[in-house]
Amino acid sequence: MSTTTEKLQKVLARAGLGSRREMEAAIADGRVKVNGQVATLGDRIESRDRVSLDDRPVTLRAADEVPRRVIMYNKPEGELCTRKDPEGRRTVFDRLPRLKGERWIAIGRLDINTSGLLLFTTDGELANRLMHPSTQIEREYAVRVMGEVNLDQVKAMVEGVMLDDGPARFTDVQEFGGEGINTWFHVVIMEGRNREVRRLWESQGLTVSRLKRVRYGNIFLDKRAKASEWVELSQDEIDDLAEMAGLAPRKVPELTPDEKNRWSRDKHKRRPVQAMRKPKARR
């Protein structure tokens, strides 16, 4: 780090300890200390400061010293987007590769009954930027809807409807086939509020029977990542995500000998992600 000061939560997020929002919560809960004193929200620190989280020292690193890593996970239905579940149910973190000195941070969430693409990164600032509504990142979902869908309903969801927590809309709705009352659509939305896709359809008296995220920004769900499997994004893809988030590129991560040995056994999971072609909408 340089001698200039930075926001404490930003430095903690960059250290891979969680998203900026999670670090703000940790500071508010009194879990963070700077030079032995309990930190408060709004504190700024320098590279010479001593920082701890839950009484464990934190290694401070400058932005250009921390490589970004991003993996794509194909979440099946029935898994929770939480680190631990008090009821012992399976979580998305159970199947991710283990890290030393860092941890995977989820870029957004999917509810327990939603499957598909989830991104995880070691860079809390990248996660924070990509999740923030101001970044306007497209999320594309494949949706199977029960009920007859008419043009007026589609028009209403594109123009916008008022939900309990504010206005919401799809930026695009395309029919993708199906028979009878079970029709598949692809929809695009620019934010990730709780159950927003389902609630938009419910506002039109329709029920979503299947929901799968197939794209986040310019990253499509990789066809080689079967349910409960992950693949690591290439450096070019990571740099593209960073650019969308308004961040500068970082250097390529160097694997430790232990990581090289472990990941060589999972080569098929480390190949760069290749985006699938988007299927044409039925007319």
Q: What angle do CA 159, 192, 124 make, to 5 degrees?
A: 145
CA distances from 27 to 7, 70, 165 (A): 11, 26, 27
> If we measure between CA atoms, which residue out of 163, 162, 169, 91 comes closest to residue 133?
169
What is the secondary structure of 43-112 as a DSSP string?
Answer: -EE-TTS-EEETTEE-----GGGS---EEEEEEPTT-BSSS--TT---BGGGGSPP-SS---EEES---T
Inter-residue contact 214 to 186 (CB < 8 Å) = yes
Q: Catalytic pick from 111, 172, 236, 266?
A: 111
Inter-residue contact 32 to 55 (CB < 8 Å) = no
Calpha distance 10→62 (Å, rounded): 11
Calpha distance 251→271 (Å, rounded): 18
Active site residue 111: yes
Residue type at 167? P
Number of H helices, E strands in the chain: 8, 17
Calpha distance 232→214 (Å, rounded): 16
The residues pairing with 144 across neighbouring beta strands, listed in sequence order, are: 184, 210
Inter-residue contact 104 to 122 (CB < 8 Å) = yes
Q: Known catalytic residues?
A: 111
